[in-house]
């Protein structure tokens, strides 16, 4: 390994992430679709009761890195479900990880989940729920029925500590209009009957992780998403966490 690789590894391996730090950095760079999903998954799992053998739906799993992490670290059986990424591509990654039979890749749209009611012990969504889960009817009509009573739903999604100003700050791209505040997310879930919100908070250190990951990508040579890195780095450096971060939310179906 040459010097730049050592520097990247120093930036990547963190005491806070004993599990994620064991994963191959080139593999993560190759498959990443946003701020390191292994970090986000490891932090979400701190607040969830995952036990070996549970059935877990990983909704909006992208390239399935979180699914691989969940199956490997917690011994759960995972349905790796996504809209944009082909299940065959995820299946190849699953086989390469030696997890064939323990992770099931599937193409789905989050408003028509093709599983039985009360099928899953837990549902997770990493950096994805904000694309489809903001409608007031989403939990009621589309998602919660697939979770067992007593099962947890956990998400980490981009969000702002406070309501975004209108108009948006001049340094912020227009497409950041989608960011809701922690208070918004908390209310959004709290109004759902038969569902108890156990945790609703800004992910501790979430903004810093987003920035650090984007800086790592830049140091690596912007492998996957050069455009995102180019726009996000100045945005994050200017914002400094004022409006940008993640919510970490966990709720239980009662
Ligand atoms: C930013 S990517 C994150 C992927 C992955 N969770 C990660 O963090 O690496 C967002 C993912 O949400 C998925 N997604 C967006 N809208 C969706 C929908 N309506 N139904 C299912 N998945 C959706 C996309 O397919 C995409 O893979």
First to last CA, the chain: 51
Eight-state DSSP code of residue 179? P
Distances (CA, A) of 89 to 95, 131, 214: 10, 22, 25
Please work out whether the CB of residue 33 comes within 6 Å of at least one atom of ligand 1.
yes
**Phi–psi pair at 132, nearest 5 degrees:** -135, -10
pLDDT of residue 232: 94
Q: State the virtual CA torsion across 103, 108, 113, 118 in degrees, nearest 10.
A: 10
Fold assignment, 3-253: Rossmann fold (3.40.50)
- 63-102 residue pLDDT tens: 999 999 999 999 999 999 999 999 999 999 999 999 999 9
Residue in 40, 83, 103, 126 to alter for ligand 1 test, most ligand atoms within 8 A of Cβ: 83
Whole-angstrom distance, CA of residue 177 vs CA of residue 130: 12
- What percentage of the chain has pLDDT greater than the value 90? 91
pLDDT of residue 221: 84
Please work out whether the CB of residue 83 comes within 6 Å of at least one atom of ligand 1.
yes
- 95-153 residue pLDDT tens: 999 999 999 999 999 999 999 999 999 999 999 999 999 999 999 999 999 999 999 99
> Rounded mean pLDDT of the chain?
95
- What percentage of the chain has pLDDT greater than the value 70? 98
* Residue 225 confidence (pLDDT) above 90: no
- Give 82-87 contacts, CB < 8 A, sequence gap 24+: 82/106, 82/107, 82/108, 83/107, 83/108, 83/109, 83/110, 85/61
Query: For residue 228, how far is its CA from the centre of ligand 1 (angstroms)?
Result: 16
pLDDT of residue 1: 39
pLDDT of residue 2: 44
- 2-46 residue pLDDT tens: 455 788 888 899 999 999 999 999 999 999 999 999 999 999 999
Please work out whether the CB of residue 135 comes within 6 Å of at least one atom of ligand 1.
no
Whole-angstrom distance, CA of residue 13 vs CA of residue 17: 7
Whole-angstrom distance, CA of residue 67 vs CA of residue 78: 6
CA 12-16-21 angle, to 5 degrees, is 40
């Amino acid at each position: 390994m040459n010097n730049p690789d050592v520097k990247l590894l120093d930036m990547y391996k963190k005491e806070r992430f004993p599990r994620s730090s064991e994963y191959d950095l080139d593999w993560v760079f190759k498959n990443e679709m946003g701020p390191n999903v292994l970090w986000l998954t490891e932090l979400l799992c701190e607040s969830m009761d995952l036990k070996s053998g549970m059935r877990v739906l990983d909704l909006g799993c992208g390239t399935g890195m979180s699914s691989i992490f969940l199956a490997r670290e917690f011994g759960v059986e995972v349905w790796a479900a996504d809209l944009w990424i082909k299940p065959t591509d995820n299946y190849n990654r699953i086989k390469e990880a030696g997890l064939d039979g323990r992770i099931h890749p599937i193409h789905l749209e989050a408003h028509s989940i093709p599983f039985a009611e009360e099928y899953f012990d837990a549902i997770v969504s990493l950096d994805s729920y904000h694309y489809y889960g903001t409608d007031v009817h989403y939990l009621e009509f589309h998602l919660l029925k697939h979770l067992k009573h007593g099962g947890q739903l956990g998400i980490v999604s981009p969000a702002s500590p406070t309501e975004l100003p209108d108009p948006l700050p001049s340094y912020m791209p227009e497409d950041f209009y989608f960011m809701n505040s922690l208070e918004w997310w908390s209310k959004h879930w709290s109004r759902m009957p038969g569902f108890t919100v156990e945790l609703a908070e800004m992910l501790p250190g979430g903004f810093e992780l987003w920035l650090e990951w984007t800086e790592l990508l830049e140091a690596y040579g912007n492998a996957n998403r050069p455009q995102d890195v180019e726009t996000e780095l100045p945005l994050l450096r200017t914002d400094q966490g004022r409006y940008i971060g993640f919510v970490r939310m966990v709720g239980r179906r009662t």
